[in-house]
Chain A
């Protein structure tokens, strides 16, 4: 009977501990002293490690900004590299606190995965890359082509839709990781490599001769990329969402990582509210009054983050385009902090 009692206790323990799993993420993060952030396995400009193992990129800066807001120290982040197909499971299981991994916001992902998108950090769209030697100028000339794609992405489904809608045949070869996909494309297994257009430019830099390859003009889908958090923890959802808004607001107000100390001294009511010398919005979020100051000091405003990682100041040199501020012809817009 001893064994029976033992099994019973074990089963009870398993049942109870599993039931207590829906935790307060902010508290968990603070207790751990580290933010656990899901990123890609290496996509230049968005999240990739350098030769010393330091992670950089737009998605990485979102992690750093959150760590800055919570700990006042942007280095307190543990990066968890995830393939496209493992990312949601890692978030659902609680292995990571936030998924910041060039993930497209769709209704099915928002509603059926037990997770929520907190906003859009990059407005993207799917494109195609081919070898220049194929002499193809439009995606509509790709009938009967072989296409390399990373498995478990919206890209894979858009591809099927696009070729079907245009009555073209194609062969798909789907790989588990981005690097395998690029390698197979370079080895000539397929004629076309498809992913989000920003990813095409980023991956082109990895090829032996980037100039032998071109990105076709067509954009075949809307790919709003943003971070995700688990469903059911509204406080944590608010923190991640408003971290993004704080970065955009800082750019709107012309606050940068360099001039933030001078700006904080100005007698401007809006600046005082945003930078925390007036009001207690940070505390209502569960953070501190100077949360925006912490974020901007950690990573800079949205414009600085964009330029440094994917924009003019980076090898990718992507135009701001849709990702400019709303009052400069783009879509980036933050609700007021008041």
Chain B
């Protein structure tokens, strides 16, 4: 008599059926295939129709224009760019400008948002009123108006370069932006960077080890003196051996503008200010809602364990609130990124301004350029959502939910 376990009935076919056809079974599969085919056919028809029409009207089509010379200049480029570079390069320059303003805006918006939310929740009457007024004013005014306000306010408040405000003679503020000394790599740059990286990696490893020791064996290990030594001491030591890692190039007034140094243009400042303060008002309300969603019994439980108010917030309340905060927070990050396309109003060279604006009118290839721009915005938004989803998932998992 055989004692082998009975094989489970073949379920794979069933699973595939479920996957494709839902509860309707194979019938559902057929309908879905037909639907996909029709969608595909409609898409094909739209593309071929547009092509035929463009050809009829002798409008240039295709992506060949990306290899042509752009022939115009851009005033903020994170990668090297001149007028004799291609439209593809313009696309990259615009994309990076959009990304940098979005990332910086998101960081500031989150910081300001959390601070304002804590103000609003504070038992201090004055602080909570200030938070409330901030939120009610900022979120009820159109963002384009705020961008223009900051731009004109920034420009109006600042003098021309010849009368610029000097900060200790090394940095200068004028209506052309903030000029700061720029670092130029010296002989000691590579060993300095290598040591810095080594210090960071070693510190992270040490922290991991210390946390394991704490959680699994209940041992407290004091690591900060070692970390400080590795992060500051190691690079300092290499500096003594190999010489200075970089020297600073000081900006100097030459003719109309400052030459040398790095410059932050006023358009960038105005746009970042407007976007981050605007989005922060929404984030503050989201954070407040998240914190209020945690039952006040949690706060009391923390207090009964002898935790301070700050520690209870940090260790008990905020981690639970994050579950509620993350999804709407993602929306705000996406909004900020998309709102950055209003940059064109103040002459900040973002993707919409230099690519969907200038490049479009220089080449006239509206369909290709708008499609590329929409595609990249979609990609940015989906990536942001994905990152935030992973973060939200980790938050939930760490709570054991």
Chain A positions within 8 Å of B, measured between CB atoms, are: 4, 7-8, 11, 14-15, 18-19, 21-22, 84-89, 92, 108-109, 111-114, 134, 142-146, 148, 151-153, 156-157, 159-161, 164, 170-176, 180, 183-184, 187-189, 191, 230-232
- Whether the pair B42, A92 counts as a contact (CB closer than 8 A) is no
- Whether the pair B358, A174 counts as a contact (CB closer than 8 A) is yes
Give CA–CA (A176, B363) in the complex, Å. Answer: 17
Interface contacts beyond A21-B53, A22-B57, A146-B257: sample of 20 additional A-B pairs, CB < 8 Å, sorted by A: A4-B38, A15-B45, A18-B50, A22-B53, A92-B57, A108-B363, A144-B255, A144-B256, A145-B256, A151-B357, A152-B357, A159-B73, A161-B83, A164-B83, A174-B353, A174-B354, A175-B347, A180-B347, A188-B160, A231-B57
| Chain B count of residues within 8 A CB distance of the other chain | 52
Contact A4-B34, Cβ < 8 Å, known A19-B49, A152-B360, A180-B347: yes
B53 touches which of A18, A109, A176 (Cβ 8 Å): A18
Give CA–CA (A172, B349) in the complex, Å. Answer: 10
Give CA–CA (A173, B59) in the complex, Å. Answer: 30
Contact A114-B155, Cβ < 8 Å, known A19-B52, A109-B364, A180-B347: no
User: In the complex, what's the smallest C-beta–C-beta distance from A278 to chain B, in angstroms?
Assistant: 38
- Whether the pair A187, B156 counts as a contact (CB closer than 8 A) is yes
Q: Which residue from chain B places its CB closest to the CB of A142 in the assembled complex? A: B256
- Whether the pair A160, B160 counts as a contact (CB closer than 8 A) is no
- Whether the pair B56, A232 counts as a contact (CB closer than 8 A) is yes
User: For B83, what are the chain A residues with a Cβ–Cβ distance below 8 Å?
Assistant: 157, 160-161, 164
Question: Does B344 have its Cβ within 8 Å of any Cβ on chain A?
Answer: yes
Give CA–CA (A153, B358) in the complex, Å. Answer: 8
B interface, over-half SS: helix
- Whether the pair B57, A232 counts as a contact (CB closer than 8 A) is yes
Interface residues of B in 41-72 (CB under 8 A from A): 41-42, 45-46, 49-50, 52-54, 56-60, 71-72
- Whether the pair A173, B347 counts as a contact (CB closer than 8 A) is yes
Question: Does B254 have its Cβ within 8 Å of any Cβ on chain A?
Answer: yes
A85 touches which of B72, B84, B358 (Cβ 8 Å): B358
Q: Which residue from chain B places its CB closest to the CB of A10 in the assembled complex? A: B42
User: For A148, what are the chain B residues with a Cβ–Cβ distance below 8 Å?
Assistant: 347
Total CB contacts across the A-B interface at under 8 A = 157
For the complex of A and B, the 9 pairs showing the least CB-CB separation, nearest first, are A152-B361, A114-B59, A160-B83, A114-B57, A85-B361, A113-B364, A112-B60, A144-B255, A157-B71
User: For A164, what are the chain B residues with a Cβ–Cβ distance below 8 Å?
Assistant: 83-84
User: For B347, what are the chain A residues with a Cβ–Cβ distance below 8 Å?
Assistant: 148, 173-176, 180, 184, 189
- Whether the pair A146, B176 counts as a contact (CB closer than 8 A) is yes
User: In the complex, what's the smallest C-beta–C-beta distance from A188 to chain B, in angstroms?
Assistant: 5
- Whether the pair A187, B57 counts as a contact (CB closer than 8 A) is no
A-contact 0/1 string along B263-302, CB 8 Å cutoff? 0001100000000000000000000000000000000000
Question: Does B175 have its Cβ within 8 Å of any Cβ on chain A?
Answer: yes
Contacts A/B (CB < 8 Å), 16 sampled:
A7-B42, A14-B49, A15-B45, A19-B49, A88-B361, A112-B363, A134-B256, A142-B256, A145-B257, A151-B354, A157-B72, A174-B347, A174-B353, A175-B344, A187-B156, A231-B58
- Whether the pair A92, B255 counts as a contact (CB closer than 8 A) is no
User: For A134, what are the chain B residues with a Cβ–Cβ distance below 8 Å?
Assistant: 256
User: For A85, what are the chain B residues with a Cβ–Cβ distance below 8 Å?
Assistant: 357-358, 360-361
- Whether the pair A156, B59 counts as a contact (CB closer than 8 A) is no
User: For A4, what are the chain B residues with a Cβ–Cβ distance below 8 Å?
Assistant: 34-35, 38
Q: Which residue from chain A places its CB closest to the CB of B152 in the assembled complex? A: A187
Question: Does B304 have its Cβ within 8 Å of any Cβ on chain A?
Answer: no
Contact A92-B364, Cβ < 8 Å, known A114-B54, A152-B358: yes
- Whether the pair B38, A18 counts as a contact (CB closer than 8 A) is no
- Whether the pair A176, B362 counts as a contact (CB closer than 8 A) is no
The residue in A19, A85, A189 that gathers the most chain B C-beta atoms within 10 A of its C-beta is A189
Interface residues of B in 227-283 (CB under 8 A from A): 254-257, 259, 266-267
- Whether the pair A173, B362 counts as a contact (CB closer than 8 A) is no
- Whether the pair B353, A173 counts as a contact (CB closer than 8 A) is no
- Whether the pair B72, A160 counts as a contact (CB closer than 8 A) is yes
Give CA–CA (A82, B256) in the complex, Å. Answer: 33
User: For A151, what are the chain B residues with a Cβ–Cβ distance below 8 Å?
Assistant: 344, 353-354, 357-358, 361
The residue in A134, A164, A187 that gathers the most chain B C-beta atoms within 10 A of its C-beta is A187
- Whether the pair B364, A176 counts as a contact (CB closer than 8 A) is no
